[in-house]
Amino acid sequence: MVYRRIIMDNKMEKRYGLPTAISMVIGIVIGSGVFIKGGKVLSLTGGNLLQGIAVVGIVGLICIICSLVFATLGSKYEKVNGVVDYAELALGPKYAYYVGWFMTTIYTPALAAMLAFFSSMMFLQLFGIAAIDFATGQVNPTAIGVGAGFLMLGYGVNALSPRIAGKLQVGMTVIKLIPLILMGVVGTIAGLANGATLDVLNYVNSPEYVAVDGSGFFKAIVGFAFAYEGWILATSINAELKDSKKNLPRALVIGALVTIVIYALYIWAMSIVGDVNTIIATWPFGESLPRVAFSTLFGNVVGTIVYVFITISCLGTMNGLIMASCRNMYSISIRGMGPRPEFFGHIDSQNNFAIKSSVLGMMLAGFWYAWTVMMWMGGPGLFGSVHGSEWFAWEPDEIGIICLYLMYIPMMIGLMAKAKDLNPVKRFVLPALGVLCCLFFCYAIWVGYGWKQCTGFLIFFAAVMFIGWLFERFRVKKAAGHKT
């Protein structure tokens, strides 16, 4: 029997007002991405601070438009709770299955794996240990081991004690805002006062400045999409929101605008370093830039303490993704779809949680972790250099996010086709703008990373979707056999 969330009789309590909704949006969207991708954005734009701020604004505007489209869908059907439900409402259960299959096999575990390694990079920076030697292209085995440990610990805690994992997530959400606000406000004031910001702004007029081509700017846009990812999760609160038709769009817009301001201030405050070449030298991850900037502003001791907060923030984002990964296969199974739904939809009686779904999530994250450190980064002696082969050079977190935007397009078109009771703005204008935003992201990654990387990923994506189709076809045939 297919489980359909949209026809459930039980309704969630309307417990949240607008202030709570805004806080939830900000807490969900703001993560570790700005710490990881901030230095990368400044490096990709060649040290052009204003272009870096433009990247923050462009990606933020795209996310606002897309979130408003889903807010319209969510406020129309108040029982939805996540992107798979939106897909089901817009295009039916079959499309929802493939979106869920993508989220289960590629999107969530790949992002969790990347965050595990990024957390390792940040953690080792506290001890002055480089995770990657870019002169030789070698990944430090210590970094690989620490990241794998973080990943396994995260899945272990979530699977065996989901209640503790939830409490950790709340605490880490508060912690991640401290360095952002501290650096954004104090760093901006100090940079303007001592002239460091002016030096960085004037760099574009110096003989050293070399303007980057369009691919660098588009790479920065694609990379910084990671920092805003999570807005789709924020739309899932509509079932518990008072007057959701008005308050959900308000919360998304206000929350997104606050996020843009905080991110822009943080990127701007990185100019406290004063030396653009130091900023550019953090390429390609920028994991060392926050520590350099905080130490410049507050001294080594305080800078290191704040950097501990940043490391915890990365672990918090990883934990949030693992929380979703543990539940992904379960969310497919309770719809009666996918491989062995009766098995992966089982709830363990001891901890009242989907243990089998969690174990599968950990196995998939392990695959993506191996892919990340061994194939994308080059691994110790495997390819010998970072991005050794363009066909395998796609960065799993960034291209996975853009692929999800590609999957949003049919959902937005479905809204235009079906929502006949909406006014023209909500039915046509917003979804059309959303489609254009998604297409812009696709164009940005095609220009920024090239056709080989994009094609390589699409081939892999098609293979994974085909496997999902085989599982579903086998399940349907098996069910038909039992009926006869």
DSSP 90-132: HH-HHHHHHHHHHIIIIIHHHHHHHHHHHHHHHHHHTTT--SE
User: What are 168's two structure tokens?
Assistant: 């950790």
Q: By the 8 A CB rule, do 275 and 46 touch?
A: no
Query: Residue 130's pLDDT is what?
Result: 78
> Coil, helix or strand for 16?
strand
| Mean pLDDT along residues 450-462 | 92
Model confidence at 97, in pLDDT bands (50, 70, 90)? Answer: very high
Least confident residue range of 122-136, 229-243, 438-452:
229-243
Residues in contact with 82: Cβ distance below 8 Å, sequence separation at least 6, in sequence order = 232, 233, 236, 331
Q: Is the dihedral of CA 122, 124, 129, 135 positive or negative?
A: negative
> Coil, helix or strand for 132?
strand
User: What are 351's two structure tokens?
Assistant: 């901890």
Q: By the 8 A CB rule, do 114 and 122 touch?
A: no
User: Phi first, then psi: what are they for 90, rounded to 5°?
Assistant: -80, -40
Query: Residue 347's pLDDT is what?
Result: 83
Query: Residue 137's pLDDT is what?
Result: 60
457-467 burial, b at 16+ Cβ within 10 Å, e below that, comes to: beebbeebeee
Rounded to whole angstroms, the Cα distance separating 106 from 101 reads: 8
Query: Residue 1's pLDDT is what?
Result: 40
Query: Residue 206's pLDDT is what?
Result: 83
For the stretch 327-379, pLDDT in tens is: 889 889 988 899 999 899 888 777 777 889 999 999 999 999 988 887 777 65
Query: Residue 478's pLDDT is what?
Result: 83
User: What are 421's two structure tokens?
Assistant: 């009771």
The DSSP secondary structure of 347-400, one letter per residue, reads: -BTTTTB-HHHHHHHHHHHHHHHHIIIIIIS-TTTTSSSTT--GGG---HHHHH
Model confidence at 56, in pLDDT bands (50, 70, 90)? Answer: very high
User: Which pTM value belongs to this model?
Assistant: 0.86
pLDDT of 7 > 50? The answer is: no
pLDDT of 90 > 60? The answer is: yes
- Backbone conformation region of residue 374, classed left if phi is above 0, alpha if psi is from -120 to 50, else beta: alpha
Listed ranges 84-88, 222-226, 478-482; the one with the highest mean pLDDT: 222-226
Question: Which residues is 139 bridged to in the sheet?
Answer: 132
Q: Is the dihedral of CA 284, 286, 288, 293 positive or negative?
A: positive
Rounded to whole angstroms, the Cα distance separating 189 from 87 reads: 45
For the stretch 247-303, pLDDT in tens is: 888 888 888 888 899 899 988 888 888 778 777 776 656 667 777 888 888 888 877
**Angle ∠(396,401,404) on CA atoms, nearest 5:** 120
> Other C-beta atoms within 10 Å of 262: how many?
21
Rounded to whole angstroms, the Cα distance separating 322 from 82 reads: 16
Model confidence at 383, in pLDDT bands (50, 70, 90)? Answer: very low
Rounded to whole angstroms, the Cα distance separating 273 from 280 reads: 11
Q: What is the DSSP letter of 140?
A: P
Looking at the chain, the whole-number percentage of residues with pLDDT higher than 90 is 28
Q: Among 242, 247, 208, which Cα is nearest to 25's? A: 247
pLDDT of 385 > 60? The answer is: no
Q: By the 8 A CB rule, do 362 and 154 touch?
A: no
pLDDT of 398 > 60? The answer is: yes
Rounded to whole angstroms, the Cα distance separating 229 from 55 reads: 15
Least confident residue range of 75-84, 390-399, 451-460:
75-84
Looking at the chain, the whole-number percentage of residues with pLDDT higher than 70 is 85
Query: Residue 237's pLDDT is what?
Result: 64
User: What are 204's two structure tokens?
Assistant: 């574009």
CA 82 to chain CA centroid, nearest Å: 15
CA 323 to chain CA centroid, nearest Å: 14
**Over the Cα atoms of the chain, what is R_g?**
22
Rounded to whole angstroms, the Cα distance separating 386 from 21 reads: 42
Model confidence at 13, in pLDDT bands (50, 70, 90)? Answer: low
Q: By the 8 A CB rule, do 56 and 260 touch?
A: yes
Q: By the 8 A CB rule, do 82 and 246 touch?
A: no
Query: Residue 173's pLDDT is what?
Result: 63
